[in-house]
Structure 1
Amino acid sequence: MSSSASLRASWQYEVPTSGSAHLPPDAGYAKALTNQGYSFEAAVADLIDNSIDAGADSVVVHFLRDSDRIVSLLVLDNGRGMDASGLDQAMTVGHRREYGDDALGMYGTGLKAASLSHAKSLTVISRTRRSAPAGRKLTAEGIEDGFRCDTVDQSFAQEQIDVYDGLIEWQGTIVRWDRVRAFETIAPGQSEQFLSKAISQLEQHLGLYLHRFLSRGIKLDIAVWDVSTGEETDHISVDALDPFGYKLSGKAGYPKKILAQVEGVGQVALEAHIWPAKSNLAGFRQVGPVQQRQGFYFYRNDRLVQAGGWNNLRAIEGHLVLARVAVDLPAVSGSVFSLTVKKDGVEVTPAFTVGVDEARGSDGKSFHTFLADAEAVYREGASRSAVERQAVTEPGKGFDPMVKRAVREELPLKPGEDPIRIDWVTLPESKFFDLDREGNGILLNKEFRDDFNDGRRGGANDAPVTKTLLYLLLQDCFGLGRWERKRADRIDYWNAILLASVHAQRERRSRNIP
């Protein structure tokens, strides 16, 4: 028989089998599980997805530090919680549970893969309204030891729930990362800078990818707690960062719904948006590199799973930075749309791009007309003269999030510089403030803290007006090579005048003068 005849004879639509065997995963799978390529922000977002699926309306991302060391990260929520049986299922590697049509979870691997991609130890402690606190601990070593999962001591589980009883009163969950790789590599004296950058990136990522939930009222906070002092050293509330949150469209008639007929799926609605040119709003400037944020924004059950990109429809081009398209993935997507495990991208087949190429709006205009309109708005805006504002170093720890957002919206930021922090510290009585130029810090004399908080204990982001005015005065004192005598003299007389003003305020308060 010829080789071609043999090939025809052996080829079948289905390969026949003669038996089967169950092959459990090898313990070496632990290495694959811990190398999924999750970014820190995407991993934390995956944990919060679980909180939302559990019905939580309040979630806190909690960094724990011990003086200069960052020791753990916790994600706390007030969702339904889990009993011991539910915890066993949640911590089983490879366990696939049933998801509702509106769930954010998909593959059943997020908790383990996201956590062990960054931490060598994952602990989950939970309680329901009908069950006592219980906990499970999973480590990379435990997985290698036959997928061993340890039971957390019940008294410790109760103690952890009690610590956070302000949030977890009757039900809720604590997900805890220990031996976090990024924390273990921080150089001595650099924890403050690390936290400032990590919190800023986390705030941006969560604000963007969960913006629809935040806009609907879910409360999401990021806090830092020093276990050595028992004090909260930073606390911010994450606000929605809407990539379509402009006040006035860049062109009349937009946003516009354009319908694409996609083979294997049916009709897919494309909501085409054109941002106004040169916008400084947070939803345009603060969602990452502007050029990379043009294109498709795919949502699955209101959770953003891709922020920009044209998915092989066309290349990224500078003149299309104002063009963004919101797409809610259909419940039944066939094989056309494929979501990555990390929920940070969508793969599409040519059926989608063909459908988009032929898409039309109710007015008969095509998707390509939308792109041409977006380009025209960009070119018109580029031709207008504009006052160039001087770039600044962004404010960081100690500044209220509203202030930080306003600075980002109004002023260009200097690239590659650590944010300026502001702290209350012990200083000589002769100084109202001082500068830590190497550490990018403005230091306020804590002797005067009560004067700016009406005698009450202030939080990490207190005295926003005073701090903001000092930031505007002093931000250009950082990132300098040479410290000029003229600049040093300016700092001295500002200090003297501000010191006089705070003493004047104290005197007026002592005499009950408003």
Structure 2
Amino acid sequence: MSSSESLRDSWQYDVPVSGSMHLPPDAGYAKALTNQGYGFEAAVADLVDNSIDAGADSVVVHFLRDSDRIVSLLVLDNGCGMDAAGLDHAMTVGRRRRYDGQALGMYGTGLKAASLSHARSLTVISRTKRSAPAGRKLTVEGIEDGFRCDAVDPDFAQQQIDVYDGLIEWQGTIVRWDRVRSFETVAPGQSEHYLSKAITRLETHLGLYLHRFLARGLKLDIAVWDVSTGEETDHIGVDALDPFGYKVPGKPGYPKKFLTSMEGVGDVALEAHVWPAKSNLAGFRQIGAVHERQGFYFYRNDRLVQAGGWNDLRTSEGHMVLARIAVDLPDQPGEVFSLTVKKDGVHVTPAFTAGVERATDGGGNSFRVFLADAEAAYREGASRSVVERPSVIAPGKGFDPKVKRAVREELLLKAGEDPIRIEWVSLPDGRFFDLDRDDYAILINKNFRDDFNDGRRGGSNDAPVTKTLLYLLLQDCFGLGRWEKKRADRIDYWNSILLAAVNAQRDRRTRPDS
């Protein structure tokens, strides 16, 4: 009998079985769980997704430090919380939960995989309106020891809920990472620098991928607490970074909606946008290299899951950087779309590219007309002259995020310079401000802090107008070689003038109305 005849006679579409057995995962699975390739920002975003699914409208990402060491990261929310049984389910490795049609979660692995990709210890403490606080702790060592999960001491769970009673009043959840690998690599004296960069990257990532939720009112903050002093040393609110947030399109008539039909999926809408050329808006310039951000932006239940890329339709090219297309994934993606476990990309089959090629707008124009329009807008913009903008050192810690974003949009930032921070400190009575040029800091006399906060306790990013004016006045005093006497004299007379202004403001407050 020939091999072809043998194959023909033995082939079956379903492989027959003779029995079954259960094979629990080996303890070595812990290594696979902790090597999922989650980036830091994507891992934190996965935790925020869980908070949104729990109905939270306020979420805080807390970095905890002990003087110069970064010790833990927490994600806190005021969602519906979990009781002890719910915590057991959430911490069971390999257990999938049931998601409703609008949930951001999909596979049930994000909490464990995202967390243990970065931390060797994961603790979840939660309470509901009907249950007392409870907690569970999962460690890499515990997984290797037969998937052991530890119960958190009830008194400690209650204490942690009480610490955050301004956020978690009747219900909510705390997710805590300890022994975070990247934190342990921060050299002495470098924690401030590390946190500044990490917070900036995290703010950008969360602002982009969750921009629709933020625009609808989700309150998302990033804060730094010093556990040795109990003080908050930094706090910013994350704003929406809309990748389609231009004021005027780069081509009249856009955005346009192109419709197509895909096998197994049905109708799919492609919302095509043409950005204005040479835009400095945050949604264009500050979400990554512009040549990487052209192409498709896929959303699943309003959560961005892919920010740019052509998914085999074409290659990225410089003259297509203004072209972006928003696509809301269908409820039933069929075989055409599949989302990565980390929710950072979408895989498509050839049915998608074929469907895009067939797409037309309301006037019968094909998708290729949009591509041609985007290229024409780029070439036309490239021929225009650009108004020269001054170069400045970026504002850093102590400035409101909206101010920092406006500076990045309106001015050019000098490369290779540390950001300028600003803070309230003790200064002699005759000084309104001073400079620490070696440490790139503007120091304001804290005796005047109440004057610029209407008597209220100010936060780390308070008095934005005063701080911004000082930054614009003083930013060119940093990054210099020799400190000329005329610059020092200028600092002195600016101090005298500003002191007179503050005293005049105080006099107006105490003077009876005329």
Whole-Å separation in 2 of the counterparts to 1:461 and 1:241? 20
Q: 1:322: Cα distance to partner?
A: 1.1
Aligned to 2:299: 299
Whole-Å separation in 2 of the counterparts to 1:34 and 1:258? 42
Evaluate the alpha carbon distance shift between residue 260 and residue 207 of structure 1 in structure 2; reply closer, same or farther with a 3 A threshold.
Answer: same
Q: In the alignment, does 2:215 pair up with 1:218?
A: no
Q: 1:241: Cα distance to partner?
A: 1.2
One-letter code aligned to 1:407: V
- For the aligned residues, what is the CA RMSD? 2.0
Number of residues paired by the alignment? 514
Aligned to 2:355: 355
Q: 1:486: Cα distance to partner?
A: 4.7
Q: 1:211: Cα distance to partner?
A: 0.9
Whole-Å separation in 2 of the counterparts to 1:278 and 1:434? 37
Q: How does 1:95-494 map to 2 (within 5 A)?
A: 95-494=95-494
Residue 60 of structure 2 aligns to a residue whose secondary structure is strand
Query: Which region of structure 1 is more displaced relative to structure 2, 501-510 or 287-296?
Result: 501-510
Residue 257 of structure 1 aligns to a residue whose secondary structure is strand
Q: How does 1:56-67 map to 2 (within 5 A)?
A: 56-67=56-67
Whole-Å separation in 1 of the counterparts to 2:198 and 2:394? 14
Q: Contact 1:291–1:317 at 8 Å: present in 2 too? A: yes
Whole-Å separation in 2 of the counterparts to 1:479 and 1:372? 45
Question: Can you give the 5+ residue segments of structure 2 that lack an aligned partner in the other structure?
Answer: none
Whole-Å separation in 1 of the counterparts to 2:38 and 2:439? 30
Whole-Å separation in 2 of the counterparts to 1:508 and 1:57? 41
Whole-Å separation in 1 of the counterparts to 2:327 and 2:246? 18
Whole-Å separation in 2 of the counterparts to 1:440 and 1:205? 26
Query: Which region of structure 1 is more displaced relative to structure 2, 378-387 or 405-414?
Result: 405-414
Aligned-residue identity in percent: 82
Question: Can you give the 5+ residue segments of structure 1 that lack an aligned partner in the other structure?
Answer: none
Whole-Å separation in 2 of the counterparts to 1:262 and 1:512? 74
Query: Which region of structure 1 is more displaced relative to structure 2, 41-50 or 1-10?
Result: 1-10
Whole-Å separation in 1 of the counterparts to 2:439 and 2:41? 25
Whole-Å separation in 2 of the counterparts to 1:427 and 1:6? 92
Q: 1:504: Cα distance to partner?
A: 4.8
Evaluate the alpha carbon distance shift between residue 313 and residue 437 of structure 1 in structure 2; reply closer, same or farther with a 3 A threshold.
Answer: farther
Q: 1:326: Cα distance to partner?
A: 0.4
Query: Which region of structure 1 is more displaced relative to structure 2, 38-47 or 489-498?
Result: 489-498
Whole-Å separation in 1 of the counterparts to 2:393 and 2:28? 46
Whole-Å separation in 2 of the counterparts to 1:148 and 1:440? 48
Q: 1:430: Cα distance to partner?
A: 4.4
Q: In the alignment, does 2:50 pair up with 1:50?
A: yes
Whole-Å separation in 1 of the counterparts to 2:197 and 2:89? 35
Q: In the alignment, does 2:40 pair up with 1:18?
A: no
Whole-Å separation in 2 of the counterparts to 1:266 and 1:106? 22
Q: 1:191: Cα distance to partner?
A: 1.6
Evaluate the alpha carbon distance shift between residue 386 and residue 155 of structure 1 in structure 2; reply closer, same or farther with a 3 A threshold.
Answer: same
Q: 1:447: Cα distance to partner?
A: 3.0
Whole-Å separation in 2 of the counterparts to 1:340 and 1:293? 18
Task: Tell me the alpha carbon deviations over residues 380-400 of structure 1, each in whole angstroms, 9 at most, x when there is no partner.
Answer: 112111212123222121111
Whole-Å separation in 2 of the counterparts to 1:97 and 1:322? 40
Query: Which region of structure 1 is more displaced relative to structure 2, 278-287 or 361-370?
Result: 278-287
Whole-Å separation in 2 of the counterparts to 1:334 and 1:483? 66
Whole-Å separation in 1 of the counterparts to 2:9 and 2:221? 65
One-letter code aligned to 1:235: H
Residue 403 of structure 1 aligns to a residue whose secondary structure is helix
Q: 1:441: Cα distance to partner?
A: 2.1
Residue 361 of structure 1 aligns to a residue whose secondary structure is coil
Q: 1:418: Cα distance to partner?
A: 3.3
Q: 1:457: Cα distance to partner?
A: 2.5
One-letter code aligned to 2:442: I
Q: 1:496: Cα distance to partner?
A: 4.3
Q: How does 1:18-37 map to 2 (within 5 A)?
A: 18-37=18-37
Whole-Å separation in 2 of the counterparts to 1:126 and 1:310? 41
So what's the TM-score if we normalise by structure 2?
0.95
Whole-Å separation in 2 of the counterparts to 1:85 and 1:226? 33
Whole-Å separation in 2 of the counterparts to 1:24 and 1:69? 39
Whole-Å separation in 1 of the counterparts to 2:481 and 2:13? 72
Q: 1:464: Cα distance to partner?
A: 1.3
Q: Contact 1:196–1:419 at 8 Å: present in 2 too? A: no
